[in-house]
Structure 1
Amino acid sequence: MQWEPVALEALYDEILAAEEKMQGELWRFWQLIQIFPEKWQQTPYGDEGGGFWVVAVMGKQIIWYNDIEEGFNRSSYEQYGTFHEYWCNQDELVWPVQALLTEIKLGGGGFAQAGPPQNIDE
């Protein structure tokens, strides 16, 4: 079976499932940062699928869906529409939204990221 990029309809199913779990402050924060999903470019991992779906923007941070690993991630960006940091977390949407809210409230990082694939033969 060959990999195919996630369709917008399937992505919306993931988003709606996560929204059902959000309440109070987290729900209000999500309402502020979410955007209509749009494909952003990321090289090299996003090239084959035409980019990755970005679902939220806050300052210079984005929350995006990694359809290769089937999970949401957080990355920084410099130019709107493209980002360089690739993470392979398999998180539900609620987790990076909560992590971003916590970082804003408390300052600093503290959110673990799973890095890109490593070549263990080297």
Structure 2
Amino acid sequence: MKHVDQLERGSLGHELQGAVSDLMYQVGIALYDAGRLAQSERAGAIALDLAHQAEDPPARARAYDALSRVSLYRGDPLRAVRHAQRGLRVPDLPPSRLSSLHMRLGRALACVNGGPIS
């Protein structure tokens, strides 16, 4: 992740940006599973940046989904709501991604004003 973070991302072609975005998404999930939430959030932010540069809507939605998950478990449900809402605004998403983003949004909204996180 450190090496990707130091890359001049704009110099990568769209296909490579998309592939590295996917890699950073996977790294973020592994870090999330390991309980390293700050690093997972950073990997998600890199994935999102690369997905924007690659002009890859499904990758953008996937990154927003991951960022929403991490934000909620870091105790910031409002930020989790914003990420889920941004993901839902990405056009032409498959039903599975829309379902996941709606679930993230619902979970985050349930936690606003001190609701449970389980």
**TM-score normalised by the chain length of structure 2:** 0.30
Q: Answer 1 or 2: which has greater strand percent.
A: 1
Q: Answer 1 or 2: which has greater helix percent.
A: 2
**TM-score normalised by the chain length of structure 1:** 0.29
